Amino acid sequence: VPSIDEYGRRAVDFCQRLVRIPSLSGSEAQVAQAIAGEMQLLGYDAIEIDSMGSVIGTIDSGVPGRTVIFDGHVDTVGVTDQADWTRDPFGGEIEGGRLYGRGASDMKGSLAAMIYGAALSAKTVEAGTVYVCGTVMEELFEGAALAAIVGACNPDCVVVGESTGLCLNLGQRGRMEIVVETSGLAAHSSTPHLGVNAVEKMTDVLVRLRSLPMPHDDLLGSGVLVLTDIISSPYPAISVVPHRCRATFDRRFLVGEDPGSVLDPMRHAIAGLQAADPILSAQVSIARGEYKTYTGRTISGEKVLSAWKTPADGLVAVTAREALKAAGIEPREKAYSFCTNGSGSARLGVTTIGFGAGFEEQAHTRDEYIEVDQIEKATAGFASLAQYLTRSGRQMRLF
């Protein structure tokens, strides 16, 4: 039986190799192959690449029991500021206990830890099944690839491996992309009074929306409505009063909110403006996304990613806490501030928790890194989670 320390070290080495393979969303073929190869080497019972291109490795006890999914997305955001990096974003350099590179923290470190951790648990899982999923396209459409796997595997619970700093995360806010469009009337800019300036109208809308109250939740934090882009039409406009303006908002919402309860206050606010300014014309809608996976499948839909909260005293959270303690981790409990694949599993009603190596603040940053020590500890954590979350009755003890 391999030792926890040895597998922790090998997970670090594997993370380093994963960082050296660029894997932008929609271009994950090579990294998926590397993961499938590693799972083969580690003796996984089955390895499959699904129609979207996600890798699914199975640890199967052969005895009926609980089914657990470990999820780690394999895609990363790009590097748009390489000149500002002091390290090679695809070098995987290790220095001072840190492994550097794009995706090191988000989330190749945790991915390597769960692949090695689940393999380590294989001899001690007496019942049930663990699926370790390397999912595609998370950075473009959170939850889509995981939801497809959850639908096929029907798990009892899902562990999202996004960075938690080895804490146990019990929720996240949802995310909605909202488009506001104003329309006016084009005119020559020397005679603006003959037109209706759609950008000026948008300015009034923006100021009004900024004062909308946001709800609060003690675990998840506050709702957020933030402008993420704005564009006028025509653009650029040479001596023309623009007749259209389109703004995109990112709305982080809480459990209990839905598209209706989010959009209604925005529409009411605009209706209030229109009462005073009858020529103001503005529409509010939810953005749609459409993306192609490297396997040629289309992922499309409204950009509404569910919020979720898992009860701290429920079976899954209680068992996970016990598992992490057994692995020498004293887990603090908190929530993600960003959106994760957990939106996909929670939407389908599957109990979801978060546990992972590294810190959320490192995601998408210049000189992204993960502490080697976090990967090693997370490997033990995932091994223990695999054992505890599948157990029913007596267990061999790895810890």
R_g of the chain computed on alpha carbons: 23
In the shown chain, the binding pattern of residues 59 to 98 toward Zn ion, with x for contact by CB under 5 A and - for none, equals ----------------------------------------
- Judged by CB under 5 A, the chain residues 152 through 171 that form the site for Zn ion are 162
CA atoms of 11 and 375, how far apart (whole Å):
7
Among residues 168 and 280, whose Cβ is nearest to Zn ion? Answer: 168
Say if CB 148 and CB 343 are below 8 A apart.
no
Tell me how crowded residue 41 is: count the other CB atoms within 10 A of its CB.
11
**Selected range binding Zn ion among 99-107, 114-122, 316-324, 354-362, rule: CB under 5 A:** 99-107
106 touches Zn ion by CB under 5 A: yes
Q: Phi then psi for 40, rounded to 5 degrees?
A: -60, -50
The CB-nearest residue to Zn ion is 106
Nearer to Zn ion, 38 or 106 (CB): 106
CB of 212 to Zn ion, least distance (A): 29
| Nearer of residues 102 and 309 to Zn ion, judged by Cβ | 102
Tell me: does residue 137 bind Zn ion (CB under 5 A). no
CB of 338 to Zn ion, least distance (A): 7
* Token pair of 289 as six digits: 């996304």
The amino acid present at 158, given as its one-letter code, is: V
**Given 11, 31, 99, 107, the residue binding Zn ion (CB under 5 A):** 107
In angstroms, rounded to a whole number, what is the distance separating the alpha carbons of residues 247 and 120? 49
The alpha helices in 223-314, defined as continuous H runs, are 259-276
Applying the rule CB under 5 A, the residues between 114 and 133 that interact with Zn ion are: none
Residue 212 burial by CB count (10 A; 0-12/13-18/19+): exposed, middle or buried?
A: middle
Minimum CB separation of residue 260 from Zn ion in Å reads 29
Q: Which amino acid is at 242?
A: P
Closest approach of Cβ 76 to Zn ion, in Å? Answer: 8
Under DSSP, is residue 74 helix (H, G, I), strand (E, B) or coil?
coil
Report the residue number, 162 or 257, with the smaller CB distance to Zn ion.
162
Residues lying near Zn ion in the complex (CB under 5 A) are found at 106-107, 162
